[in-house]
């Protein structure tokens, strides 16, 4: 009894192998509703820039085909405006023209938000969405 308790505490079996050794950590495929949900969140994440779409693409691309397609589309769309907005926000600190860059950064985020919400609504209906102006850097 005491030996069995020690084995359980140490995580070792009587064969010397860990009871957790060799167990694959494969994630299950997404259901159709989960696939649509994560694809929608990838587009809605554009409100915060390209980071949500990037995370969803990296985590769920192998688990659901619709999520892989739509998160890649959202990432390709949100990456250039996010970079432009970050650059504009850095240029805000230039004394004479800083206000112009503040307005530019604000307009970029407003446009990104509008396009992302429209795409998210479209994808939530289960229909794929293609942005009209998209560089598609990630294949």
User: How does pLDDT run across 65-113, given as a tens digit for each residue?
Assistant: 999 999 999 999 999 999 999 999 999 999 889 999 999 999 999 999 9
| Structural domain harbouring 118 | 30-123
Within a domain: 135: no
What is the pLDDT at residue 112? 94
Residue 129 included in any domain:
no
pLDDT in tens, 24-58: 567 788 888 898 999 999 999 999 999 999 999 99
> What contacts 67, CB < 8 A, 6 or more positions away?
30, 35, 38, 39, 42, 56, 60, 61
77 located within any domain: yes
Structure tokens at 130: 């293609």
pLDDT, tens digit, 9 for 90 and up, residues 1-30: 555 555 455 555 555 555 656 545 677 888
The Cα–Cα gap between 68 and 101 comes to 34
| pLDDT at 18 (0 to 100) | 58
Q: Would 15 be classed as within a structural domain?
A: no
Does residue 92 sit within a domain? yes
pLDDT at position 20 is: 59
In a domain, 53, yes or no: yes
Lookup result for tokens 């995370």: 55
């Amino acid at each position: 009894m005491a030996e069995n308790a020690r084995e359980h505490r140490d995580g070792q079996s009587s064969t010397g192998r860990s009871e957790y050794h060799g167990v694959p950590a494969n994630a299950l495929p997404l259901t159709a509703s989960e696939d649509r949900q994560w694809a929608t969140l990838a587009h809605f994440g554009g409100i915060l820039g390209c980071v949500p779409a990037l995370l969803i693409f990296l985590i769920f691309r192998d688990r659901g085909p619709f999520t892989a397609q739509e998160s890649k589309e959202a990432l390709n769309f949100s990456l250039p405006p996010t970079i432009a907005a970050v650059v504009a926000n850095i240029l805000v600190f230039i004394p004479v023209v800083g206000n112009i860059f503040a307005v530019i950064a604000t307009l970029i985020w407003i446009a990104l938000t509008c396009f992302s919400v429209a795409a998210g609504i479209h994808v939530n209906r289960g229909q794929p969405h293609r942005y009209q102006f998209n560089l598609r850097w990630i294949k």
